[in-house]
Amino acid sequence: PEGATPTPVATVSQYACQRRTSTENYNKIFTDAFEVLAESYELSEFEGQCLAFRKAASVLKCLPGVVRCLGDIRGLPCLGEHTKSIMEDILQCGRSFEVEKILSDERYQTLKLFTSVFGVGPKTAEKWYRAGLRSFSDILTEPSIHLNRMQQTGFLHYKDISRAVSKAEARALGNIIDEAVHAITPDAVLALTGGFRRGKEFGHDVDFLVTTPELGREKSLLPDIIDRLKQDGILLYCDYQASTFDISKLPSLRFEAMDLFAKCFLILRLKGSKVEGGLNSAAEDHRGWRAVRVDLVSPPMDRYAYALLGWTGSRQFERDLRRFARFERQMRLDNHILYDKTKNEFLAATTEKDIFDHLGLEYIEPWQRNA
Ligand code: ATP
Ligand code: MN
Ligand code: MN
């Protein structure tokens, strides 16, 4: 009976920047499984397989309904034999044995645990695992281990930082940053970026872009904001990276995900954060505050559109924008610029729409970029 009247499916592009992906994910059961496989491959440094599963998950995320049989995914890009066999297991048994094997694997569990600490990357986690360490108490009681300042802060605020940030908390932080920024320069421009700009209900941090119309003035902006937050007594941690962006050296720029703008990775003390419509956790009630991760990036105003596009994400959407620019348009895109290789020129943009236009792409709204 299945497949008698195949529903005509509009062709789905292999590029996430040609798909509209809201926060509504009807196929979480599959994409969660793919994410476990992707993470497992990432931790083992199998980059190709990792990316393949991330791409597959991204394609499923744009579908308007639940996949009920393999026939439903016929003709979709980025779904290979391996992804299909995982989906088949889930469709038949409600679970994937391959995923369950990974989830119960000691190495995977330990590396996931260690990398969940702010400041601990895959390399450090691997080193600790090889040294026989398996738990936080193993790490914290091992005399030969020296934690850097970031990792010390990571352990200190572990519970708070690993708890998701809500939209209401993001809004409250926006008000705090807004006040600080405008006390410094009344004409400052502040924009919410990252997952919350894409309409997500929860995030692991809150991302902001902050600048001023006066070119060059943005150089002192982050240090001034940081000083103010410190004075207000809400700065728990700050990793500030001054700008290394030099417009006169543009042609020699490497096109990479990491940008060269001034930025800071912060942990702020957020007071009175209430869970909307619910009770606060016991610990929170007691203290009346929580620690939250905040990222601030400060590009010069003429780079604003590129920085905004680059910091809004999702990571998969960004990856495919760059890939599309390169392979379909002979252009190079990163968080700073768009370069047309055929015309040998840099393309100016004041809005995100300008960049989509340059690329010959339909405009995709921020809340449609949850690829
Ligand atoms: P989450 O809710 O988990 O925070 P997110 O989409 O906001 O999800 P982030 O890690 O905060 O994820 O990153 C937001 C965007 O900013 C990403 O799309 C990423 O491409 C970009 N980004 C993050 N860190 C950097 C960096 N150091 N340099 C350049 N771009 C970055
Ligand atoms: Mn974020
Ligand atoms: Mn971030």
> Which of 161, 197, 200, 205 best tests ligand 1's pocket when mutated (most atoms within 8 Å of CB)?
205
Decide if pLDDT at 234 tops 50: yes
Tell me which of 138, 156, 174 is where a domain ends.
156
Atom of ligand 1 nearest to the CA of 311: 16
Query: Residue 169: CB within 6 Å of ligand 1?
Result: no
pLDDT 10s digits, 187-218: 999 999 999 999 999 999 999 999 999 998 99
pLDDT 10s digits, 121-135: 999 999 999 999 999
pLDDT at 285: 55
**Closest CA to ligand 1's atom 18:** 313
**Distance (Å, rounded) from C-alpha 177 to C-alpha 222?**
11
More confident of the two residues 106 and 251? 106
179 and 212 in one domain? yes
Looking at 75-79, 101-105, 282-286, 300-304, which range is the least confident one?
282-286
Cα of 196 to ligand 3 centre, how many Å? 10
**Distance (Å, rounded) from C-alpha 67 to C-alpha 88?**
11
- Percentage of residues in the chain with pLDDT exceeding 70? 92
354 annotated as ligand-binding:
no
Q: What is the CATH number of the domain that holds 32?
A: 1.10.150.110
Name which of 24, 68, 71, 33 is nearest 53 in CA terms.
33
206 and 288 in one domain? yes
Domain of 327, in residue numbers: 308-368
10 within a domain of the structure (yes/no): no
Query: Residue 249: CB within 6 Å of ligand 1?
Result: no
1 within a domain of the structure (yes/no): no
Geometric angle at alpha carbon 341, from 335 and 345, rounded to 5°: 75
pLDDT 10s digits, 151-193: 999 999 999 999 999 999 999 999 999 999 999 999 999 999 9
Q: Is 146 exposed, middle or buried (0-12, 13-18, 19+ CB in 10 A)?
A: exposed
**Distance (Å, rounded) from C-alpha 122 to C-alpha 111?**
7
32 annotated as ligand-binding:
no
- Averaged pLDDT for residues 57-86: 97
Predicted TM-score (pTM) of the model is 0.93
* Strand ranges of the sheet holding 206-211, from the earlier edge strand across to the other edge: 189-193, 206-211, 289-298, 262-271, 235-241
Query: Residue 318: CB within 6 Å of ligand 1?
Result: yes
pLDDT at 1: 44
82 and 41 in one domain? yes
pLDDT at 135: 98
259 and 179 in one domain? yes
Tell me which of 304, 321, 339 is where a domain ends.
304
- Averaged pLDDT for residues 322-344: 95
**Distance (Å, rounded) from C-alpha 297 to C-alpha 290?**
23
The verdict on ipTM greater than 0.90 is yes
Decide if pLDDT at 14 tops 50: yes
**Closest CA to ligand 1's atom 2:** 203
**Distance (Å, rounded) from C-alpha 21 to C-alpha 230?**
39
Cite the active site residues. 205, 207, 295
> Which of 295, 368, 369 best tests ligand 1's pocket when mutated (most atoms within 8 Å of CB)?
295
Helix (H, G, I), strand (E, B) or coil at 78: coil
**Distance (Å, rounded) from C-alpha 270 to C-alpha 157?**
13
Give the distance from CA 222 to its chain's centroid.
Answer: 21
Total number of domains in the chain: 4
**Distance (Å, rounded) from C-alpha 78 to C-alpha 123?**
29
169 and 298 in one domain? yes
Mean pLDDT of the chain: 93
CB atoms within 10 A of CB 47: 10
Cα of 259 to ligand 3 centre, how many Å? 13
Query: Residue 244: CB within 6 Å of ligand 1?
Result: no
Query: Residue 334: CB within 6 Å of ligand 1?
Result: no
Looking at 35-44, 84-93, 249-258, 297-306, which range is the least confident one?
249-258
Cα of 7 to ligand 2 centre, how many Å? 37
- Averaged pLDDT for residues 61-69: 97
CB burial string 178-201: b at 16+ within 10 A, e below: eebbeebbeebeebbbbbbbbbbe
Query: Residue 204: CB within 6 Å of ligand 1?
Result: yes
pLDDT 10s digits, 238-289: 999 999 988 776 655 566 668 899 999 999 999 986 555 445 555 555 789 9
More confident of the two residues 274 and 291? 291
232 annotated as ligand-binding:
no
143 and 272 in one domain? no
Cα of 208 to ligand 2 centre, how many Å? 9
Cα of 170 to ligand 2 centre, how many Å? 10
- In this structure, are residues 195 and 208 in contact, taking their beta carbons and an 8 Å threshold? no
